[in-house]
């Protein structure tokens, strides 16, 4: 995946606050969205989202990255 696509997927997740909602919006599978965000986090070397079974929130680094 290219970097622009990873950034677009991350922004969709950040705006929707949900992997599933972002996947529907982007017409992608939820696992593909998860892999894309994970790849972006690995490339940046920073955790952008805190994931639990019931919630999703941006980290401080994720907030800054989304704003930029």
Distance CA 27, CA 67 (A): 24
Q: Which two tokens stand for residue 19?
A: 């992997």
| C-alpha distance from residue 60 to each of 29, 43, 51, 66 (Å) | 27, 17, 14, 10
Q: Is the pLDDT of residue 20 over 80?
A: yes
Q: Could you count the other beta carbons within 10 Å of the beta carbon of residue 11?
A: 13
Q: Coil, strand or helix: which one is 12?
A: helix
Q: What percent of the chain is predicted at pLDDT more than 70?
A: 99
| C-beta neighbour count of 3 within 10 angstroms | 10
- pLDDT tens by residue, 28-58: 999 999 999 999 999 999 999 999 888 899 9
């Amino acid at each position: 995946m290219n970097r622009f696509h990873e950034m677009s997927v991350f922004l969709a997740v950040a705006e929707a606050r949900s992997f599933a909602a972002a996947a529907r919006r982007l017409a992608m599978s939820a696992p593909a969205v998860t892999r894309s965000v994970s790849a972006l986090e690995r490339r940046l070397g920073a955790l952008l989202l805190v994931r639990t079974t019931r919630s999703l929130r941006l980290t401080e680094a994720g907030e800054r990255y989304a704003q930029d």
